Amino acid sequence: MNKIGFIGLGVMGKEMARHLLSTGHEVHVYNRTKQKADELVGYGAHWQDTPYDVAKATDFVLTIVGYPNDVEEVYFSKTGLFAGGHEGQIFIDLTTSTPSLAKQIFEHGQTVGIETLDAPVSGGDIGAKEARLTTMVGGKKETFDQAKQILDCFSAKVTYMGEAGSGQHTKMANQIMIAGTMVGMVETLLYADKMGLDNEKVIEILNSGAAANFSLANYGPRILKEDYSPGFFAKHFLKDLKIAIDEAEKQNLNLPGTKLAASLYEQVVDYGYGDFGTQVLIKYLKETM
């Protein structure tokens, strides 16, 4: 079993760290808000006061924080991972972040003998709870081979995508698809409701046909219960869409559908709904249409 550090114990991280513990690994945890670690410490995780201390105590470190600037702080600050890291160690960032930051982390790691992977995940809070995430990985293939059995602890599928940054680019491709399915799902339910259909039946039948998708299957039923809790924060989805648009523009690629979804989620966040789950788009549209 390995000595594994885990930083970021939010909706996703807490569940993923729990799976590492239950697989028998020695897990050292850190989170900005300490009390979010209490439950895991109760299950046998070791609290560390800084990312630096996490790096000192472990051989592998996994991170899943909020935004790219959180990732930068965790890796590069004076009390960060690189400051406490040692040669031969492996750092894996699971945050949805920018491909350029993934490359910067990789390149810095090469100068100090630390290997890194960018390994963002898909599958939502349910995927994290049930250890059924899809994990897309960039970095060196040898590093991937060394880390795969750790990623398997919380994933149903783990795929090597190529050099550093490729995991994040794959996650952006994923989010471009989700931009379409979230807007489509919300408009489907608004339309069916307006036409007097039973939306429970609509979700069931559409999920059996060509319109079936993850957003409809997972967020449709939450909408029917008026459950707008996250899930996946609307503010994080907006972050992802902005990264995808930015990366596309760097390559002179226009993504008009993704831009439309980004502008809708920008409105959702400006309206004060960023801390709800992404399904809150329907509530925003009902209240403002």
Annotated catalytic sites, by residue?
171
What is the rounded CA–CA span in Å between residue 148 and residue 15?
18
Provide the b/e sequence for 225-264 (b: ≥16 CB within 10 Å): eeebebbbbbbbbbbbbebbbebbeeeeeebeebbebbeb
Q: Which of 4, 17, 45, 65 binds ligand NAP (CB under 6 A)?
A: 65
Of 232 and 276, nearer to ligand NAP (C-beta) is 232
What is the footprint of ligand NAP within residues 175-234 (CB under 6 A)? 231-233
Of 109 and 167, nearer to ligand NAP (C-beta) is 167
What is the rounded CA–CA span in Å between residue 154 and residue 61?
15
Segment contacting ligand NAP (CB under 6 A): 8-16, 108-116, 202-210, 261-269? 8-16
| Using rule CB under 6 A, residue 82 touches ligand NAP | no
Instruction: Check: CB of residue 116 under 8 Å from CB of residue 89.
Output: no
Task: Report the chain's terminal Cα–Cα distance, integer Å.
Answer: 55
Q: Which of 121, 150, 151, 206 binds ligand NAP (CB under 6 A)?
A: 121
Q: Which of 3, 66, 100, 255 binds ligand NAP (CB under 6 A)?
A: 66
Segment contacting ligand NAP (CB under 6 A): 26-34, 177-185, 195-203, 262-270? 26-34
**Three-state SS annotation for 126-146:** HHHHCCCEEEEEEECHHHHHH
Determine phi and psi for 230, rounding to 5 degrees. Answer: -85, 125
Burial of 53 (0-12, 13-18, 19+ CB in 10 A): middle
| Using rule CB under 6 A, residue 244 touches ligand NAP | no
Measured CA to CA in angstroms, residue 230 lies from 43, 55, 145, 219 at distances of: 24, 30, 33, 10
CB of residue 286 to ligand NAP, shortest distance in Å = 23
Of 5 and 202, nearer to ligand NAP (C-beta) is 5
| Using rule CB under 6 A, residue 243 touches ligand NAP | no
| Using rule CB under 6 A, residue 36 touches ligand NAP | yes
What is the rounded CA–CA span in Å between residue 76 and residue 148?
25
| Using rule CB under 6 A, residue 95 touches ligand NAP | yes
| Using rule CB under 6 A, residue 40 touches ligand NAP | no
Could you list the residues that contact ligand NAP (CB under 6 A)?
Answer: 7-13, 31-33, 36, 64-66, 70, 73-74, 95-96, 121-122, 124-125, 231-233, 236, 240
